[in-house]
Structure 1
Amino acid sequence: MVHTLPLRPLGEITTTDESDPRYTARINEEIQLTDGSRIRANIFLPRIGGPKWPVLMSSSPYGKDLPLLEAIGMERQAGVIPQDQRCKYTRFEAPVPCWWCPKGYVLVYHDHRGSSQSPGLLSTFSNQHYDDYAELVTWAADQPWSSGKVGLTGISYLGLNQWFVAERQPRGLACIVPWEGMADLYRDATRHGGITNTKMNSYWFERAVVPVQYGKGERHVLRRGPDSPEGNQTERQLSENRDNFPQLVRENEFIDDKLYQENAASDLSKITVPVLSAGNWGGITLHLRGNIIAWMRAGSKNKYLRLHTGTHDLPYYHPPGIDLQLSFFDCCLKDDDHGGWRSGKQAPVSFAVRKGNPGFGTMDAERTFKYRDEQEWPLARTVYQKINLTADKKLSKEPQTGHGILSYAGLSGDSLFFETSPADKEYEICGHPSVKLNMSLTSHAESLLAEIDVYLALRKFDAQGKEVFYTSSLGGPQAVTVGWIRASHRTLSSRPYTEIESELAWPTLSHRREDFKPVRPGKVYDLLTELWPTNVVVEKGEKIILEVSPKDVAGSGLYTTEDPVYRSDERLGGNNNIHFGPHYENYLVLPIV
């Protein structure tokens, strides 16, 4: 049962704010959907030009009325917003009206059904949300202040939902800019390598989503917002008005389980509008993989992939990222191609080349990386170089000759580190690495729950032997890239994405229920898995180290897997062993360009 307080007549709660000379704000504009539900939006109309303008739309469960610049706990995010994008309606991960409206754009930001001011059931990552959004796109295209062209924009959740709205091809949609927005909920976010990511799921849901659910104002340290016009609902009503997302993740282990069908069953080849997919090399625990793979899956003839560095939010608001978006929207929504999107000036692919060691966490550091244009992804000139792991903890072009075993405690043991010799000349890693290990579980009581969890990290060390760190999406230090695999999920998929015609050049785990393979103590298993896509230049004298760990590696930030059910001694106790010898091939594959 969905609890809804008695609603006032349609449109009665809408108010107008003209306090800023750059835009007129219409707060709580109500849109009635075809099923009778109401969605509430804030609409920002330019005070210049018109009477019709193109529309930029965003949607999230985070609360359209929550001022980012005043939110307790949001000091870091608020601190990165440039002065020219600071105003009363600056919102978390959303476009800012004081910047976009003077450039001739209407902004429409609506509350996800069941969150903040929009009544209904709160069901994140759902077809209901994507269907609502698609219907609202057409509504926006038909408004008297609209030119009829709509573009989608926003970071993270405001980015990922764009893939699925564009798949629905709503009338009026002209382009999308999914900025750090993943598309494969299972592989990109909730169950890396089959290992459940419940800490981040819970943190996100309980601290960012639940506090702004419909019917309440400020209920958590991270968020402040107004009560709904109808007043507050009880805690029990609010709880019954939402899906418990972290619990659903725990209950749905496989990619063909109900939770993931609404994403896994998507067909991104149906996307035909221009796409600007913006990923972050530092987003190696969320979004990066999705930005790249979804771009590959999209059916658009005009699609562009851009890969930047820095924190999760900063590049969206600062040049050159904000100027890139403006030129793209001007082209798609105003037929003004000053940025060269139609003329061929803009390459299909462009990314930051991470060369040198400028440090991490600052804009000055990120600006030292130069960008390079390319015509495709993965790069056609990629050479996939196999480097062998040896029992003496080396990464070598020569295979292991004798037999050997390296072991560590399976639940909380110390990592193993395999290193190359210092590079005798410069080379660039660019693309999708992978790792193969031959592993067994010993000293474990026979159990149907027996598991081997493997966490992987690729690290770079300079000529002086110090690790080179890169900026994570949260601003902290991190490795070059990471990967994961749960041994019972070791089955590979030859065609994980039907929209991509050729087989991928890197292994992708199936994660289907029918492909589950139990782990039996004492038996050796081939574990082959992808690392997340990356770019780094290894200069002369520097070396690469592969970390193999039974637990989250340093630099994981919030994206850790501390779950007492799935990370228990009953499952993971005992020893994990890597087997070396003529019959056991262990290797790292690096994409070299």
Structure 2
Amino acid sequence: MARVEKVFMPSHPLEPGDRYGVLSGFDPGTRTLPAGFRLAPPFRALPVDIVLDKDVPVTLRDGVTIYVDIFRPAGAEKVPVIVAWSPYGKGEGSAPAAMAVFGLVGLDNAIVSGLHKFEGPDPAYWCAHGYAICNPDPRGVSDSEGDSVLWDRQEGQDCHDLIEWLAVQDWCSGKVAMSGTSYLAVAQWFTAAEQPPHLAAINPWEGISDVYRDLVMRGGIPDTGFARQLRDNSFWGKNRKEDILAEAQRYPLMNQLWQNKIPRVDRITVPAYVVASYSNTLHTAGTFRAWRQIGSKDKWLRIHNSQEWPDYYDEANTEDLRRFFDHFLKGEDNGWEQTPRVRYALLDLEGGDRVNLAAHQFPPEGIAYTKYYLDGRSRTLRTQAPAQQVTTVYDTQANPSWVSFIVRFDHETTMVGYPKARLWVEAEGADDMDLFVFVQKLSEQGTPLQGFTVPNHGAMIHDVTERGASILRYKGSSGRLRVSMRHLDETMSTDEVPVHSFDRIEKLTPGEVVAVDIDLLPIGLVFYPGEQLRLIISAQNLFGPWMPGLREYAPRNSGQHIIHTGGEHSSYLQLPIMAVR
């Protein structure tokens, strides 16, 4: 077996400039930031005195030293600490790029102090409520020693060591938690799987749980636009930096390198408050996957109807999280254990979304997975398989390079759970197919219904989300698959959620018709009488990339795609339909 190794590229020290946050410079020592202190004019003033231990060295098990900033309440009382682990820089919360993200989504920078890590908990709030915040620079980032890695079990081991170091500091109560969105959420899967003894609770707020399946090769398709942004825009350092793009090119199939970038969430045993959405085309699949597989006995899931940044910094949601941490880190008898294990959202994309619907599980009780069969003759979806075989064809280089099928609902229909498509397909003039599948909600008149996930609804957000930035405007559920990667992992697949092994390539031969299973992102959608659902099968990603400015993936398609329907090749869309109550 060929040896599998990480690929590294040269890193370099941070260059002086205004792209970094106010506290990004190396400046070891302890100082007190008094109540009323304001880091910079856009940010909120501190409500209490905060002690800042800056650039504290922490030695990891292999002798590498990393540097951390610690914000803690002034005074002698021992407090629990929350860790925000990411490679974005300890002081990045006040950097122009982070402030611009708030502006893009429509948040006021005055809701935070600027002392927070980008996408992490704000020390101004948490120190005022009796918690410390630890913002580390992981190995290889900024002034920390070693080579930096990207979403890897190495990070879990390193954060394990940091947690155990924090727990025995003279100001710490011995209880440590983690919180944050995106990268900071993924780091929690890896860390909690290492089972550090003093980790008391985690709060992953939307994040991938499989670097291969969620980031670089979703559906076996090498869409690496965001991976490039991660590699190039995460903080640099003094040694080497992992080159995930070179790894994706060198290792296109699942192997040990990618296995080490899948956190072993079944080993997580600490209480977990997991937050998810249906609309984040980067994070949704991974968050729900981790929720399903996590080993914690005490786990809660909340599914919201917005985007992770507005949701994370929402005052009511922060208070809700504090109840969770107060219970498990401070032992407060505050009734948290009565919180429903699942709180889910139902979207109607017409201003009537419902949130915080209580359930014991996800999908909630009373869901029946129902097959809607494709009818190539009428281009409709039917609950009975057509007897007659009919094919629909599109040219991958034409306009349109897709086909669609529609069903109209006679009565109110609610869908909550995991959609999937089983398609019988054939390629003409090619030996492979990149397939993109979408589920859209249409009005009674056939107009596509969409919804912004952020407070900004202005002209600029319309522009950037028209052909992309799909995490900022919800357009429906999506899935994708390279047909040569269609082999299922029978040990991981269920009828609701197919899982592909991605360990082999099975090209098509002329005239060969094959069945493919494509998982779509979870949904919570309500259809009112007369409204319609549209299934689109396409040769290209109609939703565009995840964020503005990302390079668009060019599918590796040629020739014609043939979709078989009816008879022995009855393609269908399987939907999670809630029973009428």
TM-score (norm 1): 0.84
Q: Does 1:15 align with 2:35?
A: no
Report the secondary structure of 1:92's partner residue: coil
Find the residue that maps to 2:133 and give its secondary structure. strand
* 3-state SS in 1 of match to 2:438: strand
The code of the aligned residue for 2:61 comes to T
Match of 1:533 among 519, 522, 526: 522
1:174 and 2:167 correspond: no
Q: Which amino acid aligns with 2:28?
A: T
Query: 3-state SS of the aligned residue for 1:76?
Result: helix
Distance 1:554 1:481 in 2: 10
CA distance in 2, matches of 1:18, 1:412: 64
Instruction: Verify the 8 A CA contact 1:470 1:480 in the aligned structure 2.
Output: no
Distance 2:374 2:479 in 1: 16
Call closer, same or farther: CA 1:90–1:55 in 2, change over 3 Å: closer
Describe the shift of the 1:194–1:512 C-alpha distance in structure 2 as closer, same or farther (beyond 3 A).
closer
The equivalent of 2:221 in structure 1 is 195
Residue 31 (1) aligns with residue 26 (2): no
Q: 2:237 maps to what in 1?
A: 214
Residue 330 of structure 1 deviates from its aligned partner by 0.7
The aligned residue for residue 224 of structure 1 is none
Which of 407, 421, 438 is the matching residue for 1:457?
Answer: 438
Matches within 5 A, 1:69-468: 70-72=95-97, 74-77=99-102, 80-81=106-107, 85-206=111-232, 208-209=233-234, 212-215=235-238, 241-255=240-254, 257-264=255-262, 266-283=263-280, 285-338=281-334, 340-342=335-337, 345-358=338-351, 368-391=353-376, 392-410=378-396, 414-444=400-430, 450-468=431-449
Distance in 2 of aligned mates of 1:142 and 1:81: 37
SS in 2 for 1:511: coil
Residues 80 and 114 of structure 1, relative CA distance in 2, 3 Å threshold: farther
Q: 1:372: Cα distance to partner? A: 0.5
Indicate the larger mover: 414-423 or 377-386.
414-423
Write the letter of the residue equivalent to 2:373: N
Question: Separation in 2 of the partners of 1:88 and 1:200?
Answer: 25
- Whichever residue aligns with residue 520 of structure 2, its letter is L
Deviation of 1:506 after TM superposition, in Å, equals 1.7
SS at match of 2:92: coil
CA distance in 2, matches of 1:540, 1:167: 46
Contact 1:198–1:250 under 8 Å retained in 2? no
Q: Is the 8 A contact 2:393 2:403 kept in 1?
A: no
The match for 1:233 is none
Distance in 2 separating the partners of 1:132 and 1:80: 35
The equivalent of 1:577 in structure 2 is 562
Matched-pair contact (CA < 8 Å) for 1:181–1:287: yes
- Cα 1:306–1:3 shift into 2, 3 Å: closer
State the one-letter code of the partner of 1:258.
Q
Contact 1:492 1:507 in 2 (8 A): no
Cα distance in 2 between the residues matched to 1:535 and 1:580? 27
Aligned CA distance change for structure 1 residues 199 and 413 (closer, same or farther; 3 Å): farther
Partner deviation per Cα, 1:322-358 (whole Å, 9 max, x = no partner):
12211111111011142x222xx21111112213512
Alpha-carbon offset, residue 416 of structure 1: 3.4
Distance 2:375 2:436 in 1: 18
Give the deviation of 1:413 after TM superposition: 5.1
Q: 2:83 is matched with which residue: 45, 57, 68?
A: 57
What is the CA-CA distance between 1:278 and the residue it aligns to? Answer: 0.5
Structure 2: stretches of 5+ with no match in the other structure: 1-7, 14-25, 36-47, 455-468
Amino acid at match of 2:82: L
Over aligned residues, Cα RMSD in angstroms? Answer: 2.4
CA distance in 2, matches of 1:582, 1:352: 37
Separation of aligned partners in 2, 1:319 and 1:426: 34
Whether contact under 8 Å (2:422, 2:518) holds in the other structure is: yes
For structure 1, the 5+ residue unaligned runs are 6-11, 216-237, 359-364, 445-449, 497-502
Q: TM-score, normalised by structure 2?
A: 0.85
Match of 2:260, SS state, is: helix
Whole-angstrom CA distance in 2 between matches of 1:357 and 1:267: 39
Q: Secondary structure at the match of 2:574?
A: strand
Q: How many angstroms does 1:168 deviate by?
A: 0.9
Q: How many residues align?
A: 527
- Structure 1 counterpart of 2:442, which letter? F
Output one character per residue of 1:172-223: Cα deviation in whole Å (capped at 9) or x when no partner: 10000001122122222221111112112112322x31xx2124xxxxxxxx
Shift of 1:104: 0.3
> Which moves more between the two structures, 539-548 or 83-92?
83-92
Q: CA, structure 1 residues 397+334, in 2 after alignment: closer, same or farther (shift >3 Å)? A: same
Question: Aligned in 2, Cα 1:421/1:506: closer, same or farther, shift over 3 Å?
Answer: closer
Q: Tell me which amino acid in the other structure corresponds to 2:500.
A: S
Instruction: Tell me by how many angstroms 1:472 deviates.
Output: 5.3
